[in-house]
A and B are shown apart, each in its own frame.
Chain A
Amino acid sequence: MELDEQQFHRYARHLILDEVGEEGQEKLLDAKVLVVGAGGLGAPMLMYLAAAGIGTLGIVDYDEVELSNLQRQIIHGTADLGRLKVDSAIDTVTALNPGIKIVAHREMLTAENVAGLVAQYDVVADGSDNFDCRYLLNDACYFAGKTLVSGALLRFEGQISVFKAHQPGNPCYRCLFPEKPPADMIPRCSQAGILGAVAGVVGTLQATEILKEILGLGDSLAGRLMLYDALTSRFQSVKVPKDPDCPLCGSQPSIRQVA
């Protein structure tokens, strides 16, 4: 794909980066990214990815916009209350950049549809709000050989990592957290709260990691978990080794398919 005159102007600040340039921008325009969740994390991710010129953006969500979402989910406005989040998100990103393709997946992520969804994209981003989705995406991305850019939030804290366990030596989400917590062991945002702008920090970091993955730039967060604590204004990074006994990507896996 060659850039047209409008695209030269739109992406001018990318093009003057030696690390991106025309070739890099063409990679972005050719890329297909699936964002699961059009909520607190999905909002900044979708807006930055659309603005950056990701050629095909898929959005998975089945929720409607509620008033309590608007404190952090800045892709939606007050006039969108009651609309499907996917539809509201499409309007916002199309207004930002009408030159990209948006694919709406107005459905819940399930064991039945996750493989088919993941297969259509190059990179997958987890902006979901529950553990079931997180394990489904991890397992489906591993089996499909797709990179998963993961973010999670609670209160004043964010966690970000990149999982590409299909490549030798890299861990998956299950290497980090083998099992989801027992019910009610860890509160959700609806119970414990979330400082709105923290979603912006973490979602924007996810968007940055996705752009880096597509452009092949810098050091990936694969094999590391980055933690952001808004109260202390501190980022910390810990190494996440591959677990040889991981039930998914270990040497003797017990998980053979997404379930």
Chain B
Amino acid sequence: MPVHVTLPAALLPLFPGAPRELELEAATVAEAMDALEARWPGMRDRLCDSSPAIRRHINVFVEGRRGALETALPPGSRLFIITAISGG
């Protein structure tokens, strides 16, 4: 069963065709990042640093709880990715 992913709205203009919400097959957050990178090259670099780790202005939430690259994604779970924004 795929996982449901919500991408940061702020990044969508940078990746034409990327939807706000999508489904993909991944067992961990890291695998989800691999899948996103395969579809939209360059997206992983926007979300992860070279450590590798989630960038410090990005957060991932799995089923509403903050996660990291190694966090498991149970089948059917929701991965919510947000970025800091500064507009006022």
Contacts and interface: CB of A to CB of B under 8 A. Distances in A.
B87 interface: yes
A240 B66 CA distance: 7
A159 B65 CA distance: 17
B83 interface: yes
Interface string B66-88: 10000000000000101111111
B51 to A, nearest CB: 13
B80 to A, nearest CB: 7
Contacts of B9: 154-157, 229, 231
- Looking at chain B's contact residues, the main secondary structure is mixed
A231 to B, nearest CB: 7
Contact of A128 (B13, B66, B80, B86): B86
A201 to B, nearest CB: 13
Interface in A202-234: 225, 227, 229, 231-232
User: Considering residues B10, B57, B64, B85, which has the most beta carbons from chain A within 10 angstroms of its beta carbon?
Assistant: B85
Interface in A34-64: 37, 39-42
A241 B66 contact: yes
B80 A185 contact: no
Interface residues of B, number: 22
Interface in B34-77: 46, 55-57, 59, 61, 64-66
B46 A177 contact: no
A239 interface: yes
Given A239-B65, A241-B66, 20 more contacts: A130-B86, A131-B84, A131-B86, A152-B86, A154-B86, A159-B85, A177-B56, A178-B56, A179-B56, A180-B57, A180-B84, A181-B83, A186-B10, A186-B57, A186-B84, A187-B10, A187-B13, A188-B87, A192-B10, A238-B61
